[in-house]
């Protein structure tokens, strides 16, 4: 198993999910609090195993995982909607 500590970004339907595996201590709060239950453990990144998004279509980029992470190991960048035009 190779440990990777570079940020890992997953492109989502509604934005981007970036995980900083070197900061994640594997507490699981993000997985527990995700309202869409689209986060699960990855066996690829980090010392403790880190969260990953299993379904990019399921994630609504709400940012709850980012808010509850005590280590600031998650960043959610919500995709901006184009301006409404007639």
Identify the H or E element spanning 66.
Answer: helix 64-68
- pTM to 2 decimal places: 0.80
Q: Is 38 helix (H, G, I), strand (E, B) or coil?
A: coil
Instruction: Give residue 26's pLDDT.
Output: 87
Compute the mean pLDDT over every residue in the chain, rounded to the nearest whole number: 85
Give all domains of the chain, ordered by start, each with its CATH number.
8-78 (3.30.70.20)
Q: Is 26 helix (H, G, I), strand (E, B) or coil?
A: coil
How many Å separate Cα 79 from the centre of its chain? Answer: 14
pLDDT in tens, 40-68: 888 765 556 678 888 888 999 999 999 99
Tokens (6 digits) for 66: 């980012």
Instruction: Give residue 37's pLDDT.
Output: 94
């Amino acid at each position: 198993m190779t440990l990777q500590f570079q940020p890992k970004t997953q492109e989502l339907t509604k934005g981007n999910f970036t995980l900083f595996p070197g900061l994640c201590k594997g507490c699981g709060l993000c997985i527990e609090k995700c309202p869409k239950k689209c986060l699960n453990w990855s066996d690829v990144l980090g010392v403790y195993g880190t969260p990953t998004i299993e379904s990019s279509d399921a994630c609504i980029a709400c940012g709850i995982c980012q808010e509850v992470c005590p280590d600031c190991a998650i960043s959610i960048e919500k995709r901006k909607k184009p301006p409404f035009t007639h």
